[in-house]
Structure 1
Amino acid sequence: MATWNSRGLRGSALEELINFTNDTYLKNHLALIQKIPTPITPIKIDRETRHITLAYFDKKSTVDYIGVIQGIPVCFDAKETAVDTFPLQNIHAHQISFMSDFEQQKGIAFIILHYTARNEYYYLPYCDIIKFWERSEKGGRKSFTYEEIDKTYRIHMSKGVMLHYLEALQKDILQRDWE
Structure 2
Amino acid sequence: MGYWTSRGLRGSQLEENLNITNKIYLEQGLAVVQKIPTAIKPVELDPGKGTIKLAYFEEKSTVDYLGNIQGIPVCFDAKETNQKRLPIANIHRHQIEFMDAFDKQEGLSFLIVHFKFCDETFLLPFEILKAYWDRAQNDGRKSIPYADFDQHLRIYSAHNIRLHYLETINLYLTGKEK
Cα displacement string for residues 66-109 of structure 1 (whole angstroms, at most 9, x for unaligned residues): 00000110000000110111110100010000000001001000
In the alignment, the residues of structure 1 paired with residue 141 and residue 129 of structure 2 have an alpha-carbon distance, to the nearest angstrom, of 13
User: Does 2:26 align with 1:26?
Assistant: yes
In the alignment, the residues of structure 2 paired with residue 4 and residue 33 of structure 1 have an alpha-carbon distance, to the nearest angstrom, of 27
The aligned residue for residue 64 of structure 1 is: 64
The aligned residue for residue 6 of structure 1 is: 7
Q: Please, what TM-score do these two structures have when normalized by structure 1?
A: 0.93
In the alignment, the residues of structure 1 paired with residue 91 and residue 23 of structure 2 have an alpha-carbon distance, to the nearest angstrom, of 26
Letter in 1 for 2:23: D
In the alignment, the residues of structure 1 paired with residue 5 and residue 104 of structure 2 have an alpha-carbon distance, to the nearest angstrom, of 32
Letter in 1 for 2:44: K
Shift of 1:176: 3.2
Shift of 1:54: 2.0
In the alignment, the residues of structure 1 paired with residue 4 and residue 64 of structure 2 have an alpha-carbon distance, to the nearest angstrom, of 17
In the alignment, the residues of structure 2 paired with residue 4 and residue 177 of structure 1 have an alpha-carbon distance, to the nearest angstrom, of 44
Shift of 1:174: 1.8
In the alignment, the residues of structure 2 paired with residue 66 and residue 37 of structure 1 have an alpha-carbon distance, to the nearest angstrom, of 11
The aligned residue for residue 85 of structure 2 is: 85
Cα displacement string for residues 35-80 of structure 1 (whole angstroms, at most 9, x for unaligned residues): 0001111012233453322212222100000000001100000001
Residue-pair matches, total: 177
1:139-150 correspondence runs (5 A): 139-150=139-150
* RMSD after superposition: 1.6
Gaps of 5+ in 2: none
Contact kept? 2:136, 2:142, Cα under 8 Å: yes
- Secondary structure (helix, strand or coil) at the match of 1:123 reads strand
Letter in 2 for 1:73: P
Contact kept? 1:88, 1:133, Cα under 8 Å: yes
Gaps of 5+ in 1: none
The aligned residue for residue 105 of structure 1 is: 105
1:105-144 correspondence runs (5 A): 105-144=105-144
CA 57–4 in structure 1, closer or farther in 2 if over 3 Å, else same: farther
In the alignment, the residues of structure 2 paired with residue 117 and residue 69 of structure 1 have an alpha-carbon distance, to the nearest angstrom, of 30
In the alignment, the residues of structure 2 paired with residue 177 and residue 55 of structure 1 have an alpha-carbon distance, to the nearest angstrom, of 45
In the alignment, the residues of structure 2 paired with residue 147 and residue 98 of structure 1 have an alpha-carbon distance, to the nearest angstrom, of 27
